[in-house]
Amino acid sequence: MKHHFITVEGNIGAGKTTLTHLLAKHFNARIILEEFTDNPFLPKFYENPQQYAFPLELFFMAERYKQLKEMIHTKDLFQSITISDYLFTKCLLFAKVNLPDEEFRLFQKLFDIINQQLLFPDILIYLHTPINKLQSNIRKRNRSYEQNIPDEYLFNLQQTYTSYIKQHNIKTIFIDAGNADFLGNEKHFKVVLDALDKDYEDGQHYFTLP
């Protein structure tokens, strides 16, 4: 395996966790999953974004830091690959969308201090999914607080993600996941496996699913 720390990213409802589970099982890898259900501010945020955005993002950043810091300090002799379903920079990207300018500048200062202490993945898998497909996936997983997410919010997140990846020239397997069915279609999963079996220079490397 050419990559030892792999991160799967994408918008809300893109299928990050499903693909992360499949990859971890395939490679017998250590898995790191976003613990979003532990965030007490999440349902409140969707009801009142202005009031709860800052504590929401601070809580997420603290939890993600704790998880990824623990990964650095614990080595597993039997699992040389680690796969996560989030990029730590996600903290900054969501904060950019959710916070007013003054709060975002404060958040960014905290993020910059913490981010220096963490490892960046060897490769990022980004699932680029159309908004209508995201909304369909969100309805299917049926989390009550997510059911009224506006298309505009998802679009802003999508734009923020893709702009960041391109501006920073991050080594990315960029997958057009509009028709993705990694659980039900072995060919879709094989595209990801084949993509991971290659060496890449920095930048985006695009793949479509059959």
Residue-level pLDDT at 77: 57
> What is the domain count for the chain?
1
Residue-level pLDDT at 74: 73
Q: Helices marked H in 28-169 — which ranges? A: 42-47, 49-73, 90-98, 101-115, 131-141, 151-167
Where residue 6 falls (left for φ over 0; alpha for ψ -120 to 50; beta otherwise) is beta
Please write the tens of the pLDDT for every residue from 166-193: 999 999 999 999 999 999 999 999 999 9
> Looking at the predicted structure, is the pLDDT value of residue 79 above 80?
no
Helices 131-141 & 151-167, crossing angle to 10 degrees?
A: 120
- Domain CATH number, residue 156: 3.40.50.300
Give the whole-angstrom CA distance, residue 91 versus residue 75.
25
Both tokens of residue 39? Answer: 């965030």
Please write the tens of the pLDDT for every residue from 37-53: 788 999 999 999 999 99
Which structural domain range is residue 124 located in? 5-208
Residue-level pLDDT at 126: 98
Residues with a catalytic annotation lie at 85
Mean pLDDT for all residues in the chain: 93
Q: What CA–CA distances, in Å, run from 15 to 8, 71, 111, 128?
A: 9, 23, 26, 10
Mean pLDDT of 139-165: 94
